[in-house]
Amino acid sequence: MQPLLLTFAAFCFFGAFNRWLLALGLAAGISYLGLRGWSLGRLPLVGPHDTIAFFAVSLAAMGLATRLSRPLRSAAWFNAAVGIMAGIFGGLALIFPVRSMPMPAILDTLWFELHVVLAFFAYALFGIGAIVSAGWLAVRDRSLMDIQFKTALAGWSFFSASMVAGGIWGYYAWGTYWLWTPKELWTSILWLFYALVLHLRLKGAKWDVLSAWLGVLGFVVTLFTYLGVSLLMKSSHSF
């Protein structure tokens, strides 16, 4: 199965200039996740290898979906940036060992799967939003800020739904819908951060520069919430 993930990463990274190669890469990535899920008998959402692979494929999928918007249809730079980003994370997943352990009973619930899947869709959209923000900072095309807002809103919506699913899971699994762990604090920080980004739009076009920089910074906060907390801080709520 690993060659499929390698194909995904290679097609995304080296074929980033071409949307059809990116789409082929995405097909390889989805096939990898499907086969891995088939072999495990569940969604592959536990451990760094599976979650980073899922994140990389989500990035490619959300990038291709966002590319359908009119201002990005002919933007080769956007295609390239999405492909490179998805390729890097696909390659990163390959570094981590593939572990095929049975699902611990505490994670064996639909609420956990919903929580994680929705969170990764949100992370991917925040990544796409960062690319669009960086693009706006380079070319200053106002239509890009509209797309940045929509990716932030869609990502924030997925993230909110993920937090609701996580709260329900936590209530049945641990007896509380909220635990004071670094992971949950950073999850809240990320949610509040994007609430700030969305509200900033109400200030109008004069604040676009700050909005765009926050769009880029948002992905740094996203990566810290996802990877930084798990790797650098002691948290019972981790991969």
Partner 1 sequence: MKRLWNLLISLEVGLVLLALVCIVMGAGSFGLSGDVATALNSMPLFVWLREFSLATTWWLWLTIVLLALLALNTLCCSADTVFQRFSSNAILAWLPPQLIHAGFLLIVLAHLQSALWGFKGAIEIPEGAGFQLPDGAAVQVARVGAIFSPMGGDRPLGYKALLVTQETAGQGGVTISPNHPWFSNGYGVYIKHAEPGQPPVALLEVHREPGAAMAMAGAVLFTIGNLLLLHTRSRSREFMLESDEA
Site of interaction with partner 1 (CB under 8 A): 70-71, 102-106, 108-109, 141-143, 145-146, 149-150, 153-154, 157, 160-161, 164, 167-169, 171-182, 185-186, 188-189, 192-193, 195-196, 199-200, 202-203, 229, 233-234
CB of 147: closest distance to partner 1 in angstroms?
8
Smaller CB separation from partner 1, 24 or 103: 103
Q: What is the distance between the alpha carbons of residues 89 and 82, in angstroms, rounded to a whole number?
A: 11
Question: Long-range contacts of range 93-97, CB-CB < 8 Å, 24 or more positions apart?
Answer: 93/5, 93/9, 93/48, 93/49, 93/50, 93/52, 93/53, 93/56, 94/2, 94/5, 94/6, 94/9, 94/49, 96/47, 96/48, 96/49, 96/52, 97/49
Smaller CB separation from partner 1, 88 or 164: 164
The gap between the terminal CA atoms of the chain, to the nearest Å, is 22
Q: What is the distance between the alpha carbons of residues 161 and 142, in angstroms, rounded to a whole number?
A: 29
CB of 171: closest distance to partner 1 in angstroms?
6
Q: What is the distance between the alpha carbons of residues 86 and 23, in angstroms, rounded to a whole number?
A: 12
CB of 109: closest distance to partner 1 in angstroms?
5
DSSP element (H, E) containing 151: helix 142-173
Closest CA to 98 of 25, 59, 44, 34: 44
CB of 65: closest distance to partner 1 in angstroms?
12
CB of 123: closest distance to partner 1 in angstroms?
17
Smaller CB separation from partner 1, 3 or 236: 236
CB of 151: closest distance to partner 1 in angstroms?
12
